[in-house]
Amino acid sequence: MFGTRLYHPRHGRSVEKGALKYIILDLLNEKPSHGYEIMRAMETRFHGLYSPSAGSVYPTLNLLEEMGYVTASERDGKKVYTLTDDGRKYLSEESSHIDGIKGRMFGSCGAHCGEDFRATMREMREAGILLRKNAREITPEQWQRIRESMNRTYREVVEIVGSE
């Protein structure tokens, strides 16, 4: 029951197909950034609901560079991406599309997603990291206790939220 939800909290795509390039361009319109900064900014912007991987961000940055919408320069040993004039023009032309993407992504959370939500999502991620890091040393008895604890927590959350 709970295990599936823990590892697959979202059903379907996290970000609609093709939306990542618009989100990245929008972030680069705010300030030039390197890939890791973009990933963190996206995670913050979407309140932990979407955390992009390097395997999706860097190919998208390369595509945007090939399209002429961003340029890359080396700063402090990192590749920093900057929006070009063509990128700004494209962003302006696609503003209604970008607003729609933002609305759909923010719509799943809304204004009530504050620090408590971000802290809870961070704690869940950290628990997963801790389990992966120590998986080989955890005994079958400890795994059983962990699963029982997670199932208890899940049931309590369902009780608090009021639905599954």
Residue-wise pLDDT for 93-123, tens only, equals: 888 877 777 666 655 555 556 667 767 877 8
For the cut 50, the answer to whether the pLDDT of residue 5 exceeds it is no
Mean pLDDT of the 56-76 span: 94
pLDDT tens string 13-45: 455 667 889 889 999 999 999 999 999 888 877
For the cut 50, the answer to whether the pLDDT of residue 3 exceeds it is no
Q: Beta partners for 72?
A: 81
Instruction: Tell me what percent of the residues of the chain surpass a pLDDT of 70.
Output: 78
Mean pLDDT of the 134-142 span: 95
Mean pLDDT of the 46-62 span: 83
- Comparing CA positions, the residue from 113, 102, 84, 78 lying closest to residue 20 is 102
Residues of the chain with CATH 1.10.10.10: 19-107
pTM equals 0.59
> What CATH number matches the domain at 19-107, 3.40.50.150, 3.40.50.740, 1.10.10.10, 3.30.530.20?
1.10.10.10
The tokens of 21 are what?
Answer: 């390039």
CA 87 – CA 71 distance, rounded (Å)? 10
> Helices 54-66 and 35-45 sit at what angle, rounded to 10 degrees?
110
For the cut 70, the answer to whether the pLDDT of residue 125 exceeds it is yes
The tokens of 44 are what?
Answer: 């913050």
CA 47 – CA 40 distance, rounded (Å)? 10
The better pLDDT of the pair 48, 135 is held by 135
